[in-house]
Amino acid sequence: NMAITTLFGLIGFPLGHSFSKRYFTEKFEQIGLGNSHAYTQFEIPSIDEFPALLKTAGIRGFNVTIPYKQQIIPFLDEIDPAAARIGAVNTIKVLSDGRTRGYNTDYFGFQQTLKDWSAFGDFKTRNALVLGQGGAAKAVIAAIEDLGIPVIKVSRQASTGIVSYEDLPLLMDTIGLIVNTTPLGMHPHEASCPAIPYANLTSQHYLYDIVYNPLETTFLKKGIECGAGGVHTGIQMLYGQADKAWEIIQEVDAMGGMTKAVESGWAKLKIEA
């Protein structure tokens, strides 16, 4: 299509069916940009190929997935403070002068879902427990701490600043929010779940799973069965981080706002949603 003037892409390896590609392609159609905007997948076997991608005609931004969220950082001109703290980038804006700026939209997407959750007022006065040690955990921890909620980190092995699963029964009274960032319970291993003391759950505990396939994980099911105050699935975070990515790469550098055509389409979409 000769009319494509604006291109976005996903960087990763390997790449299968991508949520990002579907999300952005649908977004372009919905706001009338389907003829000028496109989204493509850059399946690169090495991050060293990134500089060449920047020469792609019309490229305005990228999403970054496994295994390059950390490896991409030295290649970027600027990095958002939250992304710098987390040490991972999943969205890159290509500025009009060709410079690149990295963001972590998992941070924003997750934080927004917490603020929107009706239970926020209940659990924000207690500690949050974060299960897992990966890149997603770092984004979740930063987002929670920046809301003023103290975080207890848990891993299979206790170490400085990290408790073990065995330590949890004694801590449950102090905890409100419990977030699973591990892949336990994700398809095709639906039966697995993190080894928290489910028997100690009460109505003061709120469980959040960032896994979204399946939507209701064993972790959340057991939480409900054991009398937790409420549960939250991962699908809103998935959409929230994508919405934030779209917002970032749509901003016009100098004005810090969207172009008028995009703005009116975006406002219309928000109303319809």
The alpha carbon torsion through 33, 103, 107, 109 (nearest 10 deg) reads 0
CB 212 within 8 A of CB 234: yes
| CB atoms inside a 10 Å sphere around CB 202 | 11
d(CA 105, CA 61): 13
Q: Closest Cα to residue 203, out of 231, 230, 241, 163?
A: 230
CB 66 within 8 A of CB 72: no
Rg, C-alpha atoms of the chain: 20
Q: Phi and psi for 91 in degrees, rounded to 5?
A: -140, 135
Degrees (nearest 5) of the Cα angle 98, 101, 103?
150
CB 94 within 8 A of CB 60: yes
> Among all residues, which ones are annotated catalytic?
69
Residue keyed to tokens 């591990």 = 182
Q: Listing from the earlier edge strand, what are the strands of the sheet with 78-79?
A: 37-43, 6-12, 59-64, 91-94, 100-103, 78-79
20-23, long-range: CB < 8 A, 24+ apart = 20/63, 20/65, 20/242, 20/245, 23/239, 23/242
